[in-house]
Amino acid sequence: MLSIKGKGFEEIRLFDVPPVETSATVASTDITTVFNHWVVTHRENRAGPTPVLGEKRQAKIARAIRDYGVEICLQAISGCAMSDWHMGDNPRRKRYDDIELILRDSAHIERFATIYAEADIDQATEDFLKGDS
């Protein structure tokens, strides 16, 4: 919260920022499920270090689960994998598929989950995107 106090003025509250919620209200198994789905879908066959489920990622995943539930989060992660642009077919040839981007806010989650929901995919592809391969 940002507040202003001045001579002759009472404290004025400009805005309240909601406290950052911890992952305590979301089951750690749900957080791990969402994270592991992202790793399998977006990082399993890539070079580089193995992704770590740190505090920042846990908080982002927990907030998304609280807002949308595990299933929509999984669909958003799979939907991002179905977006050619986010998978590197863009002018920079760069992948935009980090879990913090996918679950950044409502607009991102809903956009990627919609891509997944509207996709005409066969059962084998669906099984792969759910991590059942």
Tens-digit pLDDT profile for residues 7-48: 555 554 545 444 444 444 899 999 999 999 999 999 888 888
In one-letter notation, the amino acid at residue 107 is: A
Mean pLDDT of 1-10: 50
Number of domains into which the chain is organized: 1
pLDDT at 48: 84
65, 109 contact by CB (below 8 A): no
pLDDT at 25: 84
The larger pLDDT score, comparing residue 45 to residue 129, is at 45
| Residue 14, domain member (yes or no) | no
* Domain range for 73: 22-129
| Residue 12, domain member (yes or no) | no
* CA 78 from centre of chain: 11
Question: What is d(CA 97, CA 72) in angstroms, rounded to the nearest whole number?
Answer: 16
| Residue 90, domain member (yes or no) | yes
- Given pLDDT bands bounded at 50, 70 and 90, which one contains residue 129? low
| Residue 1, domain member (yes or no) | no
